[in-house]
Amino acid sequence: MNFPIKSLCRWALILAAMWLAGCTTYVQTQVTAFSDWSGSDATRTYAFARQGEQQNSIEQTTYETLVANELSKYNFRQVNDSSARYSVALAYSVRGDMVTVRQPVYYDPWPMYGPYGRPFWGPWGGWGPYGPWGPTGYVDQSYPVYIHALQIRMTDRQNGREVYKVTAVNSTGDASLYQAMPYLTRSALADFPLGNGTVRTVTLPVDKNGGISNETAAAPPSASKTVD
């Protein structure tokens, strides 16, 4: 699978460090698109192309369903190979890495306990969680992270010309590509078709059960795109 993986993985590891530094309710995905798209609604028929071990893969079928659901939002219709104007090919991967996060260490010598051994002025004592002087030092903690990637390629079957290619990469502490795929597909196909050479960050909120939330996300940086 030919991803621009080095630069995208570097970006994903930076986000992973931010993710590990504190609790997050969002998944951020880096999206890169190349486009020569000129199709109309009348010609938006497609069939999935499979290669090698994808031929009889249940995993492949599962991911194709997710992609098909997103494409249907843009008037694409999945048809038989013989009737399809476009061929849609998927490539995907997951790989493990380690990220190191520097974390502060705090010590409070005067916890100021109240009666019955209970802390006075809240659970952290009179000085709060950081003691009267702030952090006394720092320690490096290493954590495993997993970089997930999805690439979607559209080819015009009439002339074999590639008309759209989009790559989505994100990283989380979960090794499951299946869990990451809804974020990858939704991010990759948001605002189809993107302009040629577009690079952006798509931010998707996570609901309390770990799925994609339908709530409006907080406003991201200007270079980012938030999908509701």
The residues spanned by each domain of the chain are 5-104+140-226
- Region 154-171 average pLDDT: 96
Strand bridging mode 45-49 / 77-78: parallel
Instruction: Enter the pTM of the model.
Output: 0.71
From the centroid of its chain, how far is CA 135? 33
Instruction: Please report, in angstroms and rounded to a whole number, the separation of the first and last CA atoms in the chain.
Output: 30
pLDDT confidence tier of residue 217, bands split at 50, 70 and 90 = very low
CATH code of 5-104+140-226, in short, is 3.30.160.670
Whether residue 3 is predicted with pLDDT greater than 50 in this model: the reply is no
Q: Tokens 């059960």 label which residue? A: 209
**What share of the chain in percent tops pLDDT 90?**
51
- Pair 135, 106: CB distance under 8 Å: yes
As a whole number, mean pLDDT of residues 177-202 equals 96
- pLDDT tens across 71-102, in order? 999 999 999 999 999 999 999 999 887 666 66
8 A C-beta contact, residue 110 and residue 132: yes
Tell me the per-residue pLDDT of 22-77, one tens digit each, with 9 for 90 and over. Answer: 446 889 999 999 999 988 888 899 999 999 999 999 999 999 999 999 999 999 99
Task: Identify the pLDDT of residue 186.
Answer: 97
Q: Calculate mean pLDDT across residues 175-197.
A: 96
In 54-165, alpha helices (H): 58-71
User: For position 76, what pLDDT does the model report?
Assistant: 97
Euclidean distance between CA atoms 152 and 176, whole angstroms: 19
Spatial CB neighbours of 167, under 8 Å, sequence gap ≥ 6: 3, 4, 8, 31, 32, 33, 149, 150, 151, 188
The rounded mean pLDDT for the chain is 79
Say if residues 63 and 50 touch (Cβ distance below 8 Å): no
**What does the pLDDT average to over 94-118?**
64
